[in-house]
Each structure stands twice: as structure tokens, then as C-alpha cells.
Amino acid sequence: MPNPKSEYVLRSLQKIINKKWELFIISRIIHKLDDHDIEFITQQLVRREDGTRALTDLYFPQFNIHLEIDEPAHLNNLDDDNRREQDIIFRTDHDIIRIQISENEELSSINNKTDEFIELIKKKKQELVKNKDFEAWEFETKYKPDRFIAKGYFEISDNVLFRKQVDAIRCFGVDHAGWQHGEWKIPDGSGDWLWFPRLYRHGMWTNKLIDGGKVIIEHAEDENGRASIQKQKERYRANPNRCQIIFAKANDPLGANLLRYVGTFRANLDKSTDDYIQFDLVRDREILKRPLKLITSSKIVRD
């Protein structure tokens, strides 16, 4: 059985095999870094501040740095429909570094530009290590909740990703044998719920994360959806302080299903209509210091 991290690296490079300069530069970066503690993602989908999307050529999540390789005939035509289920990183405090390639440029010049970027990444790691803020890329445990439970909290900037709903539920004091449903109520008396929405068109809903991640719109696409909106509004009116801790469904860079924490939201009924409910961001951090309770019976409902 192949090593999972090795397989990830090989498949990541395979994704760009038809892009000559991109493959050359990224391969040089990975080989010269020679650091298995540094995570990288090729072809990272980014939501710009204006709401449009783009793919960056290389992304280093530990440093919030994207690399763009601008070839002479650089094209940026994207098919959002084909990529809407891919992972999304929000362009907030991320840095974008560009390597420009001109017509007939010498290979030595491109190597020098690439090596400057490599030194930047090394320096960023050294700074984090010095401040004891560097977290090594642990491929096998990256999507497990244990490190957040041990820390006692997580926040949006932690890039929280889980593979299963039960992993998110474990963070809030319950160890479920199984759970697959759209929502889960936290049994701590707060009245808050975990919500696992698809942030794209699915069935009778189109959910969108807008305004730089500060607003979610749950839009009904048919009469069943509109009827559901009226019922939801009644619940939110009865409990106006209820919050939705949202783990949005997404894909990892190689297509596996993931759940990303995008924030904690509250329904804003004043800005909602018969066709949609608006949810506003109220927290970007959740405290997790709750005792685990084992639930032996599984709850599996297909959404």
C-alpha cells in the first residue's frame, strides 16, 4: 500500500503535468525545499474579494502564501460550474507572490526567481519556529479533531477541516458512533446547532457564502424550499439567539470530501425574505472545553 503523503505529492504534481513551466518551477520548489513538514497544494481555488474565483498555481497553508506563475500566454479562463465543489480559501490576509516569465527568458533567470521564492518560504518557516507557532504537516492527523480538542478551541484562521460529521461533533462533547444529517443540536443548553450545508446549488436549495465570508444566504429554489423557509423562520423567532456553527461541505485538493469550519452565524430575519434566509457571521472562534459523552447508538439520515 503506497504511503499516503507520498501519493499526495505525486498526484499533486500529476495535476500540472501538461503545464510545462508550472511543472518545472513547482517541482524545483518541492525538491529544493526538501521539507516534509511543509504542506503545499497545487491548483488552489481562491474566492476573490469581489466574489469571483481563480486558481492559484501553488499554495502554502501554513504561511498563507500563494504562488502565481505568469507565463507569456497566461490564461485565466475558469469554469466555475465544474469547480464549484472544490475547496475554497478566502482571499483575506493571504499573500500572492508572482513569478513572471517573459518570452525567450534564460533558464538561469527563472531558476534565480524560483530560488528567491524558496528562500522566502524557508524564512517564513524559521520565523514561525522561532515564535513556536509552526505546526508541522501531519498528513495522517490533519483531518482529526484531537489537536483542537487538546487546544480547547478552534477558529477560522486554523483552517479547520474534518472528513466526517462525527469528527466535528466530537469537538462539542459527544462521541457519536455515527451521524450523517444536515444539522446536529449541541446538548449543552446553548440552543446552538452544527450545520453542514453545501455552499452551491443542491436539490431545492442554493446556499452561498458572500461578503468575504461574513454572510450566508440560504435560497429556496422551489415551493418546498419556500415552505421550509417559513418553518425555519418560526424556529428562529422562537429562539432568536440560536447560532449555526457551520462546517461547509467542500473537496480537498485531490477530490476527497471534507467539512470546513467557515464561522458561526445567526439568522437575520430583518434581511430575509420569503425566498431566502440571511445568516450573519457572529463568531470566528468556538470554545471546545466540554467533557466527552459516548453515544453508542448511531444516527444516520441521508440528506
| Percent of the chain predicted with pLDDT > 70 | 83
Phi-psi region of 251 (alpha: psi -120 to 50; beta: other; left: phi over 0): beta
Q: How far apart are CA 63 and CA 47, in angstroms?
A: 18
At 267, the pLDDT band (50, 70, 90 cuts) reads very high
Query: Hey, is 293 helix, strand or coil?
Result: strand
Which range, of 89-93, 120-124, 182-186, 267-271, averages the lowest pLDDT? 89-93
Contact 28, 38 (CB under 8 A): no
Burial of 280 (0-12, 13-18, 19+ CB in 10 A): middle
- 99, 110 Cβ separation under 8 angstroms: yes
Which pLDDT score is estimated for 83?
Answer: 47
The domain locations on the chain are: 4-130, 146-300
Greater confidence, 173 or 49? 173
Residues facing 185 on adjacent strands: 193
pLDDT number for residue 131: 94
Return d(Cα 167, Cα 165) in angstroms, integer: 5
Measured in whole angstroms, how far is the alpha carbon of residue 162 from the centre of its chain?
Answer: 10
pLDDT for 188-216, tens place per residue? 888 899 999 988 788 888 898 888 789 99
Would you state the cell numbers that stand for residue 138, as one nine-digit string? 501531519
- For residue 225, give the nearest of 277, 279, 280 by alpha carbon: 277
What is the pairing mode between strands 193-195 and 53-60?
unpaired
Lowest mean pLDDT among 147-156, 242-251, 253-262, 275-284: 253-262
pLDDT confidence of residue 247: 95
Confidence class for position 266, pLDDT limits 50, 70, 90: very high
Distance between CA atoms of 198 and 259, rounded to whole angstroms?
10
- Distance CA(73)–CA(75), nearest Å, equals 6
Average pLDDT over the chain, rounded to whole?
Answer: 84
What's the rounded Cα separation, in Å, for the pair 113 and 69? Answer: 11
Indicate the range of 120-124, 135-139, 177-181, 290-294 predicted with least confidence: 290-294
